[in-house]
């Protein structure tokens, strides 16, 4: 088992995870909210390390990344777990519905084996995606470091719920990011996703400041996060960082705990027009 990074020991055998804003205090034998970090005798371990449940070759546009090596194929790696609990999660089968014991039944694929797959097959890009890669931080970093040494570029598709210190380490190794910005309303983040918006906004700021390639995805759900004023404020926030940040307005379909109609195409077109007043590159996706 791989010891986790970014945690501290506390009294009574507890540990406090410092990887994301949840700051879980985990007793001996317990796991954090993400289900992927376990306290074993006072040490924190990363259960998802070398345990991918999805390993596919995708078009890079599917991440979505439209302005980073368009036309390329990208080896996409995902594990179990997430540090959010979005009620509309589009990938809930791997992000939410699992037990700690499930990790025991997953075939190990080490970072070195991922590199070998890339070198043997001529793959030039690797994505950390499908579930939230922050919860397999150590696996992601180790793969990205090996890739960097071998001329392979890496991409993280993330909800941005990661603390500043680990994010600063991550941007050293990752070449491009797609960050989900789910709403511009703190209550939406708290009540619908179980997270907090400021961390994701700060992640976007840091990635932009560090000049990493950055695209942002907004999953538009009619009646839920379609407030015009909030969306306009979101576009203003992104444009204030860089008008060239690419924005994807993505169509939502009912999943997991929420039932709603698929986002009407007219609504997406309408939001795309609004965003285009602020940003130079706005795309409708998932349609």
Of 15, 19, 152, 206, the residue at the interface with ligand SF4 (CB under 6 A) is 19
Residue 276 CB, shortest distance to ligand SF4, in Å, is 35
Q: Is 54 helix (H, G, I), strand (E, B) or coil?
A: strand
Residue 80 CB, shortest distance to ligand SF4, in Å, is 12
**Residue 156 binds ligand SF4 (CB under 6 A):** no
**Residue 15 binds ligand SF4 (CB under 6 A):** no
Residue 214 half-sphere exposure, CB side, CA atoms within 13 Å? 25
Report 121-150 residues binding ligand SF4 (CB under 6 A). 135
With CB under 6 A as the rule, give the number of residues binding ligand SF4: 12
Which residues, including other chains, have CB under 8 Å from residue 267's CB and lie 6 or more apart? Answer: 220, 222, 226
Of the candidate spans 31-39, 70-78, 237-245, 269-277, the one that interacts with ligand SF4 by CB under 6 A turns out to be 31-39
**Residue 22 binds ligand SF4 (CB under 6 A):** yes
Of the candidate spans 12-20, 101-109, 169-177, 211-219, the one that interacts with ligand SF4 by CB under 6 A turns out to be 12-20
Of 23 and 190, which CB lies nearer to ligand SF4 in the complex structure?
23
Residue 238 CB neighbours (<10 A): 25
* Per-residue exposure over 126-146, b if at least 16 CB sit within 10 Å of its own CB, e if not: bbbbbbbbbbbbbbbbbbbeb
Nearest to 42 by CA among 13, 5, 1, 68: 13
Report 73-102 residues binding ligand SF4 (CB under 6 A). 83
Nearest to 130 by CA among 200, 68, 193, 76: 76
Which residues, including other chains, have CB under 8 Å from residue 42's CB and lie 6 or more apart? Answer: 9, 13, 15, 28
Of 5, 13, 17, 196, the residue at the interface with ligand SF4 (CB under 6 A) is 17
Enumerate binding residues for ligand SF4 (CB under 6 A): 17, 19-20, 22-24, 32-34, 37, 83, 135
């Amino acid at each position: 088992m791989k010891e986790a990074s970014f945690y501290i020991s506390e009294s009574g055998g507890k540990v406090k995870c410092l990887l994301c804003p949840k700051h879980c205090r985990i007793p001996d034998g317990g796991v954090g909210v993400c289900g992927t970090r376990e306290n074993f005798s006072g040490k924190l371990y990363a259960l998802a390390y070398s345990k991918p449940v999805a390993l596919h070759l995708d078009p890079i546009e599917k991440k979505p990344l439209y302005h980073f090596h368009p036309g390329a194929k990208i080896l996409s790696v995902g594990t179990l777990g997430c540090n959010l609990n979005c009620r509309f999660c589009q990938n809930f089968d791997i992000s939410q519905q699992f037990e700690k014991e499930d990790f025991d039944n997953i075939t190990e694929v080490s970072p070195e084996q991922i590199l070998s797959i890339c070198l043997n097959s001529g793959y030039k890009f690797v994505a950390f995606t499908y579930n939230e890669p922050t919860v397999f931080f150590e696996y992601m970093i180790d793969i990205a470091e090996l890739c960097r040494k071998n001329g392979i570029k890496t991409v993280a598709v993330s909800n941005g719920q990661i603390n500043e210190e680990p994010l600063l380490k991550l941007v050293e190794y990752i070449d491009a990011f797609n960050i989900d910005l789910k709403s511009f309303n703190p209550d939406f983040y708290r009540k619908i996703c179980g997270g907090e918006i400021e961390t994701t906004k700060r992640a976007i700021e840091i990635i932009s400041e560090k000049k990493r390639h950055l695209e942002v995805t907004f999953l538009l759900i009619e009646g839920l996060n379609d407030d015009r004023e909030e969306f306009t404020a979101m576009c203003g926030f992104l444009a204030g960082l860089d008008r060239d940040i690419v924005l994807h307005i993505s169509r939502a379909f009912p999943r997991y705990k929420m039932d709603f109609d698929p986002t009407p195409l007219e609504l997406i077109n309408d939001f795309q027009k609004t965003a285009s007043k602020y940003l130079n590159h706005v795309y409708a996706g998932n349609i």
